[in-house]
Every structure is written in structure tokens, then in C-alpha cells.
Amino acid sequence: MNGPSSNATILVVDDQPANLQILAEILQNQYDVRIAINGEKALQIAQQNNKPDLILLDVKMPGLDGYQVLAELRRDEKTCHIPVIFVTAQHDVDNETRALAAGAVDFISKPINPQVVCARVNTHLTLRQREIAFQQLNAELENRIKERTRQVETLNTALQERATQAETANAAKSLFLGNMSHELRTPLMAVIGFTDLLQRQIDEPAVLHKLSRIRKAAGNLSSTINQILDFTQIESGNTAQVTIDFNLAAMLHKINDTIEELAVAKTLAYAYDVDSAIPANLNGDRVKLEQVLLNLASNAVKFTRHGAVSLRASLIEATGEEVKIRFEIQDTGIGIDQSLLEHIFVPFEQVDNTLTRQYGGLGLGLSINRKLIEMMGGEMGVESESGKGSTFWILITLKRSQTQPAVASRIPPLQSLQTNKARPRILLVDDDFINQELLKFLLNEAGLQCDSANDGEEAVGMVKNTDYDLVLMDIQMPIMDGLAATRAIRLLPERRLTPVIGVSANAFAEDKDRCFEAGMNAFLAKPVAPEVLYSELAKWLIKNDR
Ligand code: ADP
């Protein structure tokens, strides 16, 4: 225990000068000693600016006695903390108890023993100094806590501001992307659609070759726009799962048709094999699963110059309600170096830039694919060897479907529309005259009759007067938009069941949801490839052969 500092001040109070002298002599070597000959004088000294650190107080004095002086000291907040030791000849238990109850810190009996005085003074000064140090530390800690709390509050406010800014920025980003997508999709639809029309009307090989290049470039641009939108939707957590009943074989056939064509064009062998133990009808997010498989299979063809590409589906596990399937897409292409295997799932990363230039692409496909599969509760990975080829795999659990999903007709949709005897009448609503012209061509080519309206209001008027077999409805239009027009059509008692297909360049999931909420039956995102348009029309017109 460290001793008290020697510059401590001690006030000695006694009505007997001899006692004062003895005590002063004992203490003055070590401390600054002041004396008071009575209680009044003692209070005066105690209240001065330079307060004593300890008081040795006689109990029995004329005028104010020790108890009264102590009471006064304790009443005043400037002096209430000064430790007081009673010095008295009455050292019985009662007096001692009374003194301690009154707030004295100790008791020294007369006749005075110098060693006892020194030891007690020393102890109480040390305790007092500790108390003061503790109080200072406490005050300092409180200040620090206050300062920290203030800092945390400031940080919280800043974080809240940041969060609000981020939300605003995110909303602005979505709006910008929505607008950008709209502005890019509308003209792209015209490029794709008119190229398709020309391809069907022209026989000259050189021109057809150029047209196929235009069609391919437009297709790539379209998938780039879709990838960027998919990526931002996934990043912002806006991608919802849409589970439906579907036929696995029908879905794989569709993928095969596309991939086989791509593989044949590169003289690659293409094989596909589906485990016959997998139940035919399943339930899950078919659209996303198909998107991922198609993407992996296109990559396999893209990165393979010689050899073969294959798509396999095997049953891993089956219960009464669920089936676990492993899909494998294997190629004998360029392969991927071991050290780079995980990089390819990172957004915008590609194995090396020379390859990017050679093969094109944004480096978003795989990261989107993996996220989509994970969202469905599945896993996705790759095994690969540089120069030998790659196997991308997906492990996914799908539900068995309780119903028998309709298997899409294998007759090409355009042909099935053309052989439709009824010559259905379509109302085409679009404010963009190039798109109107394109869709008119495409509809006429399918043998459909077609009227057109330039905005929603005009469309509602026409639907009132004519019982159209189907309405193709643009969304963003002046005067009345496609959503309001559909709602108005649904209020017409005779037209509640007329199929309305939304055709929009706003292709976010929310845009689609809004269309269904307004009462539309289906949704097509621009650019609509002609075969997709025909297949959607066939679905509604052939079913509704009214
Ligand atoms: P992109 O959308 O640009 O095609 P992906 O995310 O689909 O990008 O692929 C990222 C990179 O992974 C590709 O640039 C390529 O380097 C590599 N990769 C993907 N699939 C294969 C494959 N089957 N064989 C070899 N490399 C591949």
C-alpha cells in the first residue's frame, strides 16, 4: 500500500493548547499541520479554499463540541467528504459507537500515543486518497462512456443516413436499369423480329448469311441485357421462386433442340441421357432450372472445338414426395485450370482475358446460375482439367408433381397456328409504330387477322365493339397504359375471359407481377423472339378455339 503524500494538510482541533502542541509535533514532520482552538475556528478553516485532507477533532470542547462540528461539516457539501478522527479521553464503547454513527472515520483515545496517531492518520489519508483516485477514475470512465455513447450515436446516425442513401441509390439504380432495359429492348425487338421475317422471305445464301450474323449479334445483346437484369435482381434480393408442375422430358427436349443445333453447327457430337427412374412429372421453378441448364450447355458448346458435349440427368434419391437429381453437362473442350475453378463463379470474372476476347461474354452467367440453384436449395459445382474438358454439375431436390402437366405440342407453334382453321382475330396495342408494324407482319405470317390500337384508351373502345380472340398489350403507352386498359377490359362483362398477353420492355419480376395483378393472362418480355410469340399465341388460341 502506498503511503499518503507528505503534502497532505491536517487540521488539529482541541481546546487544550498542550494537546494541540503534542499532536502538531507528532505530525508536522510529515504533513502540513493547521490548528484550531475551538469548533467555530475549525469550521472556518475547513471551509477555506485550501481544505484540510483530514481533521483530528477533540470531542469535548466549550462552545461547539466535536459532534456539533462534525454535524456542521457533514451538512456542507464542500466539507462533507473530509475524513474526521475523533480524539477523546472518553473511550468507552458507547462513545466510540456514537462517534462512528455520527460519521467519524475513526477514534483515537487520550492520552495520545504518537505511533497510534501516525498509523491512523496515515491509514485514513491513504484511504481518502484512494477514494479520491477512485472517484476521479469513475468520473473519467463516465466521461469516456459518455464520449463513446456520443460517438456510437453519431456513427448510428451516419449509418442510418448511409442506409437511406443506399436505399435511394438502389431505387434509382433499379429505375435506371428498368428504363435502360426498356430503351434497349424496344429497338432490339424490331431488329430481331425483322431479321427473322427477312430470313424467311429471302433465299439468297450470301444475304441469309449476313442476316444470320445480325440475328446472332442481336440474340447475344438480348442475353447480355437479360444477364445484367438478372444479376441486379438477384443482388437486390428481388428474385422470387415460381414453382410449377412440369414435365422433365419436355423441358430437356426443349434444351436439346437448342443445344443440338449449336453442337451440329460446330460439328460436335451431342448426347443426352435421362435416367428412366426419374419420375416424369415434377414440381419446381422450371423456368430458372431450364435457364441454368441451357446456359451451362451453351457454355459447353462455346468452349469446345472438337469432341463431344453431353447432358445427363441421374436419380440420386427418391422419397414419396421428393426426388434428388444430379444434372451433368460434360464437354471435351478447353477445360479450366484447377487454380481458377472457383473464380469462374465470381461475377464478371473470366478465366483469362484472351479467352474473353475469343469467346465473348460478360462473366456473369455462372455466378447467376449458381445463385439461382442455391435459391432453389440446390448445389452447383465443376470438375475440370485444363485442355481436357469440364463437367458442370447440379444437385437439386424437386417435388413430385401431383397433377399431370400438359406436355407442349411437338408441332412447331407457327405451323400449328397456320393450320388453325378459325383465323383468330387479334388486337395489337402498341404506341411504337415500328413494333406495331413488326408484330403485324408476324401475326399475318401466322395466318392471324390483326387490328391495331395506338394506346390503351383506343384499345378499350375497340374491345367493347369487337369480340377479339386475343389482345397483345404493350404496357408503357401514352394516354392510357396497358395495365389500366386491361383493368378496364376486365370490367366489361362480355370480355372478362378475353386472353390478354402483356408485351413489355420492362422485364423486371415486379413488372410481370403488375401485369398479372391487372388481369393479364400471360407476359412476354421484349425483345420477343418470333418463335416465343408464336408458342404463347398457340397456347391461348388453340386452347381457346372459340
Ligand atoms: P459468360 O457469361 O461470359 O460466358 P460465365 O460466367 O458463363 O461467363 O463463365 C465464366 C468463365 O468461365 C468463362 O469466361 C470461361 O472462361 C469459363 N467457362 C465457363 N464454362 C466453361 C466450359 N464449359 N469450359 C471451359 N471454360 C468455361
| Spacing, Cα 391 to ligand 1 middle (Å) | 12
Q: Is 304's C-beta closer than 6 angstroms to any atom of ligand 1? A: no
d(CA 144, CA 461): 74
The helix-helix angle for 530-543 and 114-201 (nearest 10°) equals 80
Q: What sign results for the dihedral spanned by CA atoms 439, 440, 445, 447?
A: positive
| Spacing, Cα 362 to ligand 1 middle (Å) | 9
Q: Is 361's C-beta closer than 6 angstroms to any atom of ligand 1? A: yes
Closest CA to 310 of 343, 270, 282: 270
Give pLDDT, residue 154: 94
Q: Is 132 helix (H, G, I), strand (E, B) or coil?
A: helix
Query: Residue 128 in contact with residue 53, Cβ under 8 Å?
Result: yes
Query: Residue 452 in contact with residue 406, Cβ under 8 Å?
Result: no
Choice from 227, 298, 299 to test ligand 1 binding pocket (greatest atom count within 8 A of CB): 299
d(CA 287, CA 463): 32
Closest CA to 382 of 323, 322, 326, 341: 341
Give pLDDT, residue 350: 61
Closest CA to ligand 1's atom 16: 351
**Residue where the block lists cell 436449395:** 377
Give pLDDT, residue 546: 44
Q: Is 299's C-beta closer than 6 angstroms to any atom of ligand 1? A: yes
Q: Is 230 helix (H, G, I), strand (E, B) or coil?
A: helix
Question: Which atom, in ligand 1's list, is nearest to the CA of 335?
Answer: 25
Preceding peptide of 62 cis, ω within 30°: no
| Spacing, Cα 345 to ligand 1 middle (Å) | 9
| Spacing, Cα 256 to ligand 1 middle (Å) | 20
C-alpha count within 13 angstroms, C-beta hemisphere, residue 516 = 8
Give pLDDT, residue 346: 78
Give pLDDT, residue 235: 73
10-residue stretch averages of pLDDT, the chain, 546 residues long: 69 93 92 94 91 93 93 92 89 81 88 89 90 92 94 94 87 75 82 88 89 87 80 73 83 88 90 88 89 93 93 92 95 90 75 54 80 92 92 94 63 72 88 89 89 95 94 93 95 91 83 91 88 88 60
Give pLDDT, residue 330: 96
Give pLDDT, residue 353: 52
Closest CA to 40 of 65, 9, 75: 65
